[in-house]
Structure 1
Amino acid sequence: MTLKSRIEDRLSDAFSPERLEVVNESHQHAGHGPGFSGEGETHMRVRIVASAFAGMSRVARHRAVNALLADEFEAGLHALAIEAAAPGEPTRW
């Protein structure tokens, strides 16, 4: 199972999102560090709309997602961009 798939499964199980998109952006970071080619699954973006985020601040939403994915960081995920919204809130995607 890929990291992207594990993230999708965990977010789906925890938040039952109306919309969910997990994007591997690792290739955009090629050359940012010695020997980093941009291959693999080290930099991900999560775009999620879920009623669980209603009434939560942006910081609280990010903390909830990061806490849920803590094991993935320990397994090699380096960076996670989070775009979390509640239903009815505007999104850029």
Structure 2
Amino acid sequence: MDMTMAAEDLKAVVNRLRRAQGRIAGVIGMIEEGRDCEGVVTQPAAASRALDRAGFAIIATGLQRCLTDEDMAAPADREQMRARLEKLFLSPA
């Protein structure tokens, strides 16, 4: 399955991943500085949400591409693709 993404979709996904990367770096810094627990605890959840949203954006793009792909005309191809997409969709959960 080719995951070529439109430039605007790719930019949004990369931005979300960078946001998550920044949050994770922030958590590491906070721990290394010995910051209070309450401030540190909220940051991993924010990073996790950013990663989840990026993953779902990638999956949604894949679903859109697969649903519009004219090469998936044969029932066997559709079933195989359905199984692969189901696996992808459930992977971030």
Q: Structure 2 length as normaliser, TM-score?
A: 0.30
More strand by share: 1
Rg bigger for which structure? 2
More helix by share: 2
